[in-house]
C-alpha cells in the first residue's frame, strides 16, 4: 500500500537546469521522512511539487491518498506547509495571521478564532499575540509559521528547512514542537541540510543530490553503508606522517587516507577503544608526537560524503547567512552552481 506521501519519477526542469531528475519517495503514514541534501539538491523543488506550488514536468505524486496533479485543491485541504522563510504577514499580529489562515482554510470566523487561540497557547505565543509579527524574533516567527501550517491539523505536513538560520536554542525548541506533532500521528516530510536534524527527527532519511534520491534508509542503515569506525590521528611533525601511516596500516582494515596539510591520517578499524589504546602505545614507542587522536564513528556527514563524493556543509554555511530572498528564484540558480 502506498504511503501518505508517494512520488514516482518526479522531473522538473527550469530552463536547461534539471532541478529534479526522477525523484521517487514513499513516506508511510505516521512516519517522518528527512529529505537531506545540500543547497540546490532539489529538496525545495520536491516539496513545492508535492504541495501543489509547482507542477512537475513528469512523474506522479499522491498525497494523503489524493493525486496531486489531478486534484490539487483537494490536496491543499489535507496538507500543511511550513516554509524555509517564515510565511507570515509582518504587519498583522500573530492572532490576525492565524485567523486569516483559518478563514482561508474555509473555517467559519468563530472556528478560525477559537483555533487561533489554541495554537497561540500551544506555541507559547499568547503574550505576543497582539503584536505585529515584525516585532517577533526569528524563533517566534518560525513558531507562528508552523502554527499557521497546523490550523486544520492536516494529516500530512511538509516542512522545508524549518530550522535554517535559527540559533541552537530556538532550533532545540522547534525540534521539541515537531516531535510532539509527530507523536500525534501526523505524517511529515522534512527537508534539512543539517544531518544532525535528520538524525534527530526522522524515522527514515532520503539523501538527495542533483535532483535524485541517491540513498534511503534509517539513520543506522545509512551509517552502516559507510562502514564502521575509524581511527583518526593528527601528528605533530610533518615528517612523522610516513611512519604513522605505517603504524596505522598495521591496525587498519582498509586503506589509510592522509591529509598532508592538516597532518591527519585516517584508517578504518574494528576493535573499538581497546584498539585505540594499542595504536597510541605503538605510536609512542616509535617516538611519534601526536596532537590529537580519536576513534570516530560514522556520522551522517560521512554518509553524505561517501555517497556524493562532496561535503554537504560547504554550501550549508552559505545558506545560513542568506536568510531572505525569493525561494523560487533561488533553487534553479543554486542548481546551476551545483552542476558546475
Partner 1 sequence: MSALNDSLVIAHRNLIRMSRIPEMIIFGLIQPIMFVVLFTYVFGGSMTVGGSTDPDVYKNFLMAGIFAQTVTFATAGAGAGIADDMHKGLVDRFRSLPMARGAVLTGRTLADLVQTAVTLFVLAIVALLVGWRPGFENPTNVGKVLAGFGLLLLLGYAFTWIGALIGLSVRTPEAATSGGLIWLFPVTFISNAFVDSSQMASWLQPIAEWNPFSATVQACRMLFGDPGVSQSDAFPMAHPVWASLLYSVVIVAIFRTLAVRKYRSATA
Q: Which residues form the interface with partner 1 (CB under 8 A)? A: 48, 51-55, 73-74, 76-77, 79, 81, 83-89, 91-92, 96, 100-101, 103-106, 132, 145, 148, 326-329
| Minimum CB distance to partner 1 smaller for 48 or for 230 | 48
Residues in Cβ contact with 152 at an 8 Å cutoff, skipping those fewer than 6 apart: 77, 80, 102, 105, 107, 115
Least distance to partner 1 from the beta carbon of 206, Å?
21
| Minimum CB distance to partner 1 smaller for 6 or for 48 | 48
| Minimum CB distance to partner 1 smaller for 20 or for 283 | 20
Q: For 40, list phi and psi in degrees, rounded to 5.
A: 80, 5
Using DSSP, state whether 155 is helix, strand or coil.
coil
Using DSSP, state whether 315 is helix, strand or coil.
helix
| Minimum CB distance to partner 1 smaller for 31 or for 82 | 82
Q: For 97, list phi and psi in degrees, rounded to 5.
A: -60, -50
Least distance to partner 1 from the beta carbon of 202, Å?
22
Least distance to partner 1 from the beta carbon of 324, Å?
8
Least distance to partner 1 from the beta carbon of 43, Å?
14
To which residue does cell 540558480 refer?
333
The answer to whether the beta carbons of residues 66 and 73 sit under 8 Å apart is no
Least distance to partner 1 from the beta carbon of 327, Å?
7
CA 133 vs CA 97, 129, 140, 141: distances in Å: 9, 9, 9, 7
Q: Which residues of 220-233 are buried (b: 16+ CB within 10 A; e: fewer)?
A: eebbeebbebbbbb
The answer to whether the beta carbons of residues 80 and 92 sit under 8 Å apart is no
Query: Facing residues of 193 across strands?
Result: none
| Minimum CB distance to partner 1 smaller for 30 or for 132 | 132
| Minimum CB distance to partner 1 smaller for 51 or for 192 | 51
- Do β-strands 79-82 and 290-296 pair in parallel, antiparallel, or remain unpaired? unpaired
Least distance to partner 1 from the beta carbon of 82, Å?
9
Amino acid at each position: 500500500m502506498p504511503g501518505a506521501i508517494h512520488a514516482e519519477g518526479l522531473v522538473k526542469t527550469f530552463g536547461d537546469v534539471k532541478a529534479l531528475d526522477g525523484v521517487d519517495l514513499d513516506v508511510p503514514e505516521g512516519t517522518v521522512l528527512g529529505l537531506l541534501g545540500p543547497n540546490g539538491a532539489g529538496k525545495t523543488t520536491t516539496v513545492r511539487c508535492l504541495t501543489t506550488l509547482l507542477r512537475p514536468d513528469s512523474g506522479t505524486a499522491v498525497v494523503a491518498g489524493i493525486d496531486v496533479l489531478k486534484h490539487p485543491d483537494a490536496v491543499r485541504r489535507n496538507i500543511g506547509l511550513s516554509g524555509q522563510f517564515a510565511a507570515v504577514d509582518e504587519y498583522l499580529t500573530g492572532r490576525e495571521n492565524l485567523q486569516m489562515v483559518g478563514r482561508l482554510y474555509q473555517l467559519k470566523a468563530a472556528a478560525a478564532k477559537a483555533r487561533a487561540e489554541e495554537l497561540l497557547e500551544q506555541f507559547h505565543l499568547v503574550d505576543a499575540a497582539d503584536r505585529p509579527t515584525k516585532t517577533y524574533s526569528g524563533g517566534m516567527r518560525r513558531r507562528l509559521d508552523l502554527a499557521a501550517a497546523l490550523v486544520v491539523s492536516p494529516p500530512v505536513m511538509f516542512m522545508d528547512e524549518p530550522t535554517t538560520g535559527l540559533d541552537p536554542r530556538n532550533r532545540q525548541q522547534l525540534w521539541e514542537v515537531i516531535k510532539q506533532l509527530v507523536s500525534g500521528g501526523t505524517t511529515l516530510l522534512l527537508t534539512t541540510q543539517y544531518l544532525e536534524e535528520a538524525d534527530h527527527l526522522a524515522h527514515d532519511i532520503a539523501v538527495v543530490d542533483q535532483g535524485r534520491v541517491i540513498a534511503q534508509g534509517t539513520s543506522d542503515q545509512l551509517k552502516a553503508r559507510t562502514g564502521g569506525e575509524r581511527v583518526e590521528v593528527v601528528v605533530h611533525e610533518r615528517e612523522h606522517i610516513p611512519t604513522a601511516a605505517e603504524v596505522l596500516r598495521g591496525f587498519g582494515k582498509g586503506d589509510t587516507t592522509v591529509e598532508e596539510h592538516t597532518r591527519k591520517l585516517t584508517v578504518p578499524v574494528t576493535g573499538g577503544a581497546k584498539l585505540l589504546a594499542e595504536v597510541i602505545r605503538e605510536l609512542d614507542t616509535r617516538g611519534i608526537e601526536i596532537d590529537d587522536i580519536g576513534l570516530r564513528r560514522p556520522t551522517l556527514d560521512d554518509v553524505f560524503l561517501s555517497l556524493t563524493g562532496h561535503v554537504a556543509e560547504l554550501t550549508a554555511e552559505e545558506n545560513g547567512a542568506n536568510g531572505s530572498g525569493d525561494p523560487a528564484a533561488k533553487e534553479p540558480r543554486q542548481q546551476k552552481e551545483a552542476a558546475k
